[in-house]
Amino acid sequence: MPASTPLRYRVAMPEPSSHEFHVTLDVPALRDRPVLDLVFPAWAPGSYMVRDFSRHIFDLQITSNGHTLPCERVDKLRWRVQTGGRPVQVSYQVFAFEQNVRTSFLDQDRAFLVGTSLFFFVDGEQNRRCLLDVEPPAGWHIHTALPSVRGARHRFNAADYDELVDQPVEIGRHRFHSFRHSGTRFEVAIAGPTNADIARLHAHLRRIVDATGALFGGFPFDRYLFIIHALPERGGGLEHASACTLDIAGMAFEDERAYQRFDELAAHEFFHAWNVKRIRDQVLGPFDYTGENYTRLLWFHEGFTEYMQAIILLRAGLVTPDRYLKDLGEDWAKYAGRPGRNVTPLSELSFEAWIKQYKPADNYANRAVSYYEKGKWAGLLLDLMLRQATEGRRGLPQVFRRLWQSHGRRGRPITVHDIRAAVESVGHRSLGWYFSRYVDGTAELPVPAELRRAGLAVKARSPAQAEREDEVKARRQQGWSGLSFASGEAAVVKNVIPDSPAWRAGLTFRDEIVAVNNYRVDASTVGKRLADCAPGQTVTIAFFRQQILRSTSLRLVRTPERKWTFAIDPAASPARRRMRNGWLRGF
């Protein structure tokens, strides 16, 4: 059989209400390989957690010319088949009833195909061309970034297994729109009910595409697909080489903030078409689908993308500098209150994502922080430092463009040394200390100080000081225990900040507080009863731990929490104004 003979996959959905896809894989005769290993992926690239998709496989049958072949189950992902070099057909069903960007889904209204949750690969044949035939119910249409095969209805071509599973497929009666920009065709498929102004979403996507394309000097694809799922609750997004999936709360477009959340998600996932899909760590493609693919660069791939999404929206005119700075102050207050922000280095947070961020222990918040969140602030800090070094002319956008030209466009993977070299080339100075202190170290990120140098007025106030209109409310925000609570009806402790009053009183994770100063409390009232007391007062806490009623006392202290505001400083020097303009306005 010629080496060019493709693997052929077929997906049917004869009973959508069963939520089961019927999948077949035709493997050509491989004369030199009498034994084949069929392997099912354990994870979906872009989402760094082992998901064991094989748990959804049922009725697996492996035949050749109508005869069942001997098959050995090797482990949770691998089946070993004695083929004798003959052609093989693999048929099975996949239960698909989990609605998110990482998994396939099927119901009576629509189907969504994510290849890593649907398709086996033949070990050793991942580079072989693949064909995908889709058999949808009558009246449903199909959209995917995979190229269609001329003359064959509902057949698509993939250069290899990586491309096959990287490009999602939306099937149903969804709304569809397309537009062109600089010779590239952009397609938008929207499934599900939404109260959003669809024309406005399309217009915002155009502006995001325009701003991102201008940053990189064009697009690395001829066609790109935005798949938007309007769901009851907001989900996340997932990037692909020529597509992205965006899960939004369809009926939540009640104010401007809802459109801004959509814009942020779209800008983030679209930016990933460069940063992580093409500007990437070597382990992030081609992938090992059987287990963890460890990288120390998620702070760059995800955290810096989190930062750049706002820069894209600024350049696109979808958010004003004032709005951006207001959001920035609110977000910094949240980050600065994270007890674990300076415990684990960013590079280690990236490496441990597989086992810690997505499977967090109770003490995670005290020992770590999201590489998305800290990476965003590290990206802002680096951008400001580069602006300071270049009088506002160059910053992090130029770093990305340089890495695109030197590595991404050429298919060369990057290392942290390549990132540092690009940064120092843009800034014309050595910045090794930045990486040792803030990427591989745990030093506090000096963001407020750098923002002042960028021509901003920076203020930090206690919650009581920030409350100007209600003296009673201000007084009730002064005390602090160090407790936070899980969502739910009962007042169950989610976290206790180390060395806080609650920590010293012996309270710990999962304690259920039932009374404060002899008043019964639940999740809705525990904070109110603690706020009844001023700093310096002693509070008696009754709580259950492992079904045993206990009590303790704690002495409230004045809250260390701060509210931050960042705003344009009209009195900034000309040099600081130049830096600020380069950062916020791109000139």
Task: Please check whether residues 46 and 165 belong to one and the same domain.
Answer: yes
Does 535 reside within a domain? yes
Mean pLDDT of 176-182: 97
Total tally of structural domains belonging to the chain: 4
Angle at 266 (CA atoms; ends 364, 421), nearest 5 degrees: 70
What pLDDT score does 586 carry?
81
Task: Please check whether residues 251 and 224 belong to one and the same domain.
Answer: yes
Residues facing residue 110 across a β-bridge: 172
pLDDT band at 587 (very low <50, low <70, confident <90, very high): low
Please say if the pLDDT value at position 393 is more than 70: yes
Pairwise pLDDT comparison (309 vs 1), residue with the higher score: 309
What pLDDT score does 495 carry?
98
Query: In 159-282, at which residue ranges do the beta strands (DSSP E only) sit?
Result: 169-172, 175-181, 184-191, 223-231, 237-239, 243-249
Give the domain extent around 391. Answer: 298-453
Per-residue pLDDT tens digits for 35-89: 999 999 999 999 999 999 999 999 999 999 999 998 999 999 999 999 999 999 9
- Please say whether the dihedral angle defined by the alpha carbons of residues 494, 500, 502 and 506, taken in this order, is positive or negative: positive
What pLDDT score does 1 carry?
45
Per-residue pLDDT tens digits for 519-567: 999 999 999 999 999 999 999 999 999 999 999 999 999 999 999 999 9
- CATH classification of the domain holding 439: 1.10.390.10
Mean pLDDT of 278-284: 96
Q: Rounded to whole angstroms, how far apart are CA atoms 408 and 400?
A: 10
Among 156, 172, 188, the domain boundary falls at 172
Task: Please check whether residues 28 and 148 belong to one and the same domain.
Answer: yes
Does 286 reside within a domain? no
Return the H-helix or E-strand segment holding 503: helix 501-504
- Please say whether the dihedral angle defined by the alpha carbons of residues 418, 421, 427 and 432, taken in this order, is positive or negative: positive
Task: Please check whether residues 215 and 149 belong to one and the same domain.
Answer: no
Per-residue pLDDT tens digits for 462-481: 998 998 889 999 999 999 99
What pLDDT score does 467 carry?
87
Does 546 reside within a domain? yes
Task: Please check whether residues 73 and 160 belong to one and the same domain.
Answer: yes
Per-residue pLDDT tens digits for 334-389: 999 999 999 999 999 999 999 999 999 999 999 999 999 999 999 999 999 999 99
Task: Please check whether residues 82 and 128 belong to one and the same domain.
Answer: yes
Task: Please check whether residues 12 and 149 belong to one and the same domain.
Answer: yes
Q: Rounded to whole angstroms, how far apart are CA atoms 549 and 343?
A: 34
Mean pLDDT of 198-210: 98
DSSP state of 469: S
Per-residue pLDDT tens digits for 403-456: 999 999 999 999 999 999 999 999 999 999 999 999 999 999 999 999 999 999
546: buried, middle or exposed (CB in 10 Å: 19+, 13-18, 0-12)?
exposed
Task: Please check whether residues 250 and 162 belong to one and the same domain.
Answer: no
What pLDDT score does 468 carry?
84
Return the CA Rg of the chain. 27
